[in-house]
Chain A
Amino acid sequence: MNKKITKIFIPRETAAMSMGSDELAEKIALFSESKNISIEIVRNGSWGMSWLEPLIEVDTSDGRVAYGPVSIDDIESLFESNFLEGSDHALCQGKTQNIPYLKSQQRWTFRKCGLIDPTCIHSYIENDGYLGLKKSIANQKNIINQIDISGLRGRGGAGFPTGIKWKTVENAEADQKFIACNADEGDSGTFSDRILMESDPFALIEGMTIAGIAVGANRGYIYLRSEYPHAYNILLNAVETAKKHNWLGENIQDSEFDFNIDIHVGGGSYVCGEETAMLESLEGKAGTIRYKPPLPAIEGLFGKPTIVNNVVTLASVPDIMAFGGDAYAEHGVNRSKGTLAFQLSGNVKQGGLVELAFGVTLREIIDKWGGGTASGKPVYAVQVGGPLGAYFPESLLDTPLDYEAFSEKKGMVGHGGIVIFDDSVDMAAQARFAMEFCSIESCGKCTPCRIGSTRGMEVIDNITNNLDREKNLELLDDLCETMIDGSLCAMGGLTPFPVKSALKYFPEDFKINNEN
């Protein structure tokens, strides 16, 4: 008997697993065994098309063919319809590379996500992994130059130019420097760091190593939120594997450079995503915000010069070094160069990760990729940039996604999360939640944030309960201004933005509550 072994890709990534991909892999293995069919199951990461998860792929002579969302009940019919040859089936999405959702993206940082097995360093290297690090070792002096040319800005939220930050650390004199990767990804509606770490962990490790070589740091930390246990396992395995293959450790690839990475897990605190709170937490302390200056680039972890960068920022670096800063800067508009991994979530038909050059409008992304709301109703409100981002009404959907265009409208691109709501949302409840979240997560250092947020909840309750409505509306406005002006960090300083935008664009939702 002539048995061909067909490869089947079944993602091992939180979104896919949350829809049963582990159980699916188990059942597919059992089924094929019972039918004497030879298959090899590869547990890849995710392409980010969460709405199709579990999205499984069959490796055919003609390329990978995708089926999704697959449930255990579909296994028999898939085998019956000969899906191992890539044949048609109700769940067949055609060739993976041709799925419009994916094909129409500009994949750069996420190009290997879904493609490769995240536990396999060889599949990473086969796909141009570690090309950037090789070039960096060969020409250390050119690294920061290329980062500058790329125009890369921090993807953690603030959009600070990465090259400038690195140069500051490079120029700081010290016996020890650190690279600290911010993998706290606390913003609701965001999951790009998670998908990257779970699907292509070596890209992050390579990016951190290049950063270390650029500035003369031989130690790195990944500060990972505790809500991501699967990412932890994948990262830990990747760090060990990289060490074994001498891509981490002493004299990396026989060069003069050393670099090691430790992974620290956070304590379930949102404010620890702020860089100075993160450094405190990395030092084992409570995550209270530090005063700036000094900047972490001058006095960071344990008082030493430290690069703090987001996961996606660092993971964008290897390909910038491999293919040149110019190639990266070709994407994007104005001062927003390159790509951003937008994350569509909430009430949306096709939620997932969409990596695109900056400049696309909110409406385009929601219609073209999102396919509209899950409920089929019109879009009513959209929150971009996490819990501290403003709520936009329908009339602002034509705003292009570019850092400056968004801040002009008092919005924030942030980490690229786009959360969609239909008209079943109560915007007064959302405004109240913004205050509540701030009161739960405030580090407690300044009064406007700590006390103001609790006061904010009461004032919003008074407004919706029609207690001294006019006076309380005025009070809320004052309170917001005090928080904006009197807070040390963006936790207290930006919480008023979702509140004020809800009030401004959705005043009808703040009407008196007594009907319900």
Chain B
Amino acid sequence: MKKKYNEKTAIDIIDKVGARPEMLVQILHAFIKKFSYIDEQAIRLIAKKINLSRAEIHGVVSFYHDFRTEPTGEKVIKICQAEACQSMGSRELTKYAEKILDVNMHQTSKDMKLTLEPVYCLGNCALSPAIMIDEKVYGKVNEEKLNDLVENL
């Protein structure tokens, strides 16, 4: 489960991945995996541990789409917005998902249950439209299949 940011876990993560500047992207990933987002305190800590300025860490965090700075809901649902999925109705599927989940893209539901995000190709283009819930990919997702998946979250 995703945990609230705490310094001790954060230090362990940095030491495990490697407290070196070239490991920064990997460290940030490990933080996302653990905490779902990059906390301001995390930036401070990483800067200290790997000897870079906070501005430098900020620059990297803001460059990559994966490195959010707000916590996500318990589940993250990503809907592919790229061409193969578009050709099989991902635009309509996205609208439908926003409606039944009552959240818009890039947003987290008020009860913190789920976050909806766009993704540009999951490599499941032959079975489009594709979506990903946490780390699991689903293919040929139509409204009915989405309903089932959401019901069983």
Residues of A within 8 A of B (CB): 14-15, 17-19, 50-51, 53, 185-191, 193-194, 226-230, 264-270, 281-288, 302, 343-348, 351-353, 374, 383, 387, 417, 419-422, 425, 430, 433, 437, 440-441
The distance in angstroms between the C-alpha atoms of A119 and B42, with both chains bound, is 36
B9-37 CB contacts (< 8 Å) to partner A: 20-26, 28-29
B123 and A419 contacting across the interface, CB-CB below 8 Å: no
CA distance in complex: A425, B138 (Å): 23
Q: Do the beta carbons of A229 and B135 come within 8 Å of each other? A: yes
User: Are the CB atoms of A50 and B127 closer together than 8 Å?
Assistant: yes
Query: Nearest-CB distance from A110 to chain B (Å)?
Result: 14
* Residue B98 CB within 8 A of the other chain: no
Note all chain B residues with C-beta closer than 8 A to A283: 21-22
Asked whether A188 and B88 contact (CB < 8 A) given A265-B26, A268-B65, A286-B60, the answer is: no
Residues of B within 8 A of A417 (CB): 84, 125
Q: Do B126 and A51 have beta carbons less than 8 Å apart? A: yes
Centre residue among B25, B60, B88, B124 by max chain A CB count within 10 A: B25
Q: Which residue of A lies closest to B59 (CB)?
A: A286
Q: Check A267–B29 contact: CB distance below 8 A.
A: yes
The 27 sampled A-B contact pairs (Cβ below 8 Å) are A14-B137, A18-B137, A19-B139, A50-B139, A188-B121, A188-B125, A189-B82, A190-B125, A226-B66, A227-B119, A230-B135, A265-B26, A267-B65, A283-B22, A284-B22, A286-B60, A286-B63, A343-B126, A345-B126, A346-B125, A383-B83, A387-B83, A419-B87, A420-B87, A425-B87, A430-B83, A433-B83
Say yes or no: B126 contacts A351, CB within 8 Å. Answer: yes
Q: Are A351 and B127 in contact (CB under 8 A)?
A: yes
From residue B95, how far is it (CB to closest CB) to chain A in Å?
A: 14
Interface residues of B (CB under 8 A from A): 20-26, 28-29, 59-60, 63-67, 82-88, 119-128, 130, 132, 135-140
Are A15 and B120 within 8 A (Cβ)? no
B7 CB, nearest partner CB in chain A, Å: 21
The answer to whether B137 and A17 touch across the interface, beta carbons within 8 angstroms, is: yes
Asked if A346 and B66 sit within 8 Å, CB to CB, the answer is: no
Which residues of chain B come closer than 8 Å to A17, judged between CB atoms? 136-137
User: Is B83's CB under 8 angstroms from A285's CB?
Assistant: no
Q: How far is it, in angstroms, between the C-alpha of A187 and the C-alpha of B125 when the chains are bound?
A: 10
Cβ of A437 and Cβ of B60 under 8 Å apart? no
Contact A269 B65 (CB under 8 A): yes
Query: Given A227-B132, A267-B66, A347-B88, A419–B83 Cβ distance below 8 Å?
Result: yes
- B81, chain A: closest CB distance, angstroms: 8
Once A284-B22, A344-B126 are accepted as A-B contacts, the answer to whether A265 and B82 lie under 8 Å apart by CB is no
Residue of B nearest to A284 (CB): B24
Instruction: Report how far A387 CA is from B21 CA in the complex, Å.
Output: 32
Would B22 and A185 count as touching, CB distance under 8 A? Answer: no
Do residues B60 and A269 form an inter-chain contact, with CB atoms below 8 A?
Answer: no
Question: Looking across the interface, which residue of chain B has its beta carbon closest to that of A192?
Answer: B123
Distance between Cα atoms of A53 and B127 in the complex (Å): 9
- Cβ-defined contact, B125 with A191, below 8 A: yes
Instruction: Check B127 against A267 for contact (C-beta < 8 Å).
Output: no
Chain B residues with CB under 8 A of A229: 135
Q: Name the distance in Å between B124's Cβ and chain A's nearest Cβ.
A: 5
B24: chain A residues within 8 A (beta carbon): 284-285
For A18, the closest partner residue in chain B by CB is B139
CA–CA, A87 and B120, complex, Å: 42
Given A267-B65, A268-B64, also A284-B21 (CB < 8 A): yes
**Bound Cα distance A440, B120 (Å):** 10
Task: Assess the B130–A18 pair: CB atoms within 8 A.
Answer: yes
Flag if A50 contacts B126 (CB, 8 Å). yes
In angstroms, how far is the closest chain B Cβ from the Cβ of A67?
18
Which partner residue on chain A sits nearest B66 by CB separation?
A268
> For B59, what are the chain A residues with a Cβ–Cβ distance below 8 Å?
286
Known interface pairs A267-B28, A268-B65, A282-B22; A351-B137 also in contact (CB < 8 Å): no
Expressed in whole angstroms, the minimum distance between the Cβ of A414 and any Cβ of chain B is 13
Chain B neighbourhood of A186, CB < 8 A: 120-121
With a cutoff of 8 Å between Cβ atoms, the chain B residues found around residue A265 in the complex are 25-26, 29
| A267→B87 contact, CB < 8 A | no
With both chains docked as a complex, state the minimum distance between the C-beta of B14 and any C-beta of chain A, in angstroms.
12
Whole-angstrom CA separation of A194 from B87 in the bound complex: 21
Residues in A whose Cβ lies below 8 Å from that of B28: 267
Residues of B within 8 A of A227 (CB): 119, 121-123, 132
Q: Which residues of B contact A285 (CB under 8 A)?
A: 24-25, 60
- Please judge, given known A-B contacts A264-B26, A284-B21, A430-B86, whether A269 and B64 are in contact too, CB under 8 Å: yes
| Residue from the list A302, A343, A347 in contact with B87, Cβ < 8 A | A347
**Which of chain B's residues have a CB closer than 8 A to the CB of A51?**
126-127
* Nearest CB of chain B from residue A348's CB, rounded to whole Å: 8
Instruction: Determine how close the nearest CB of chain B comes to the CB of A388; give it in whole angstroms.
Output: 11
Provide the residues of chain B in CB contact with A189, threshold 8 Å: 82-84, 121, 125
- Point out the residue from A14, A346, A352, A353 that lies within 8 Å of B84, measured CB to CB: A346
Q: With A19-B127, A50-B127 given, is the CB distance from A421 to B63 under 8 Å?
A: no
Q: How far is the CB of A157 from chain B (nearest CB, A)?
A: 14
- Among candidates B23, B121, B125, B135, residue contacting A351 with C-beta atoms closer than 8 Å: B125
Contacts of A421 in B (CB 8 A): 87
Which chain A positions have C-beta within 8 A of B121? 186-190, 227
Determine which residue in B23, B83, B120, B124 has the highest number of CB atoms from chain A within 10 A of its CB, and name it: B83
How far is B126's CA from A188's CA once the two chains are assembled, in angstroms? Answer: 11
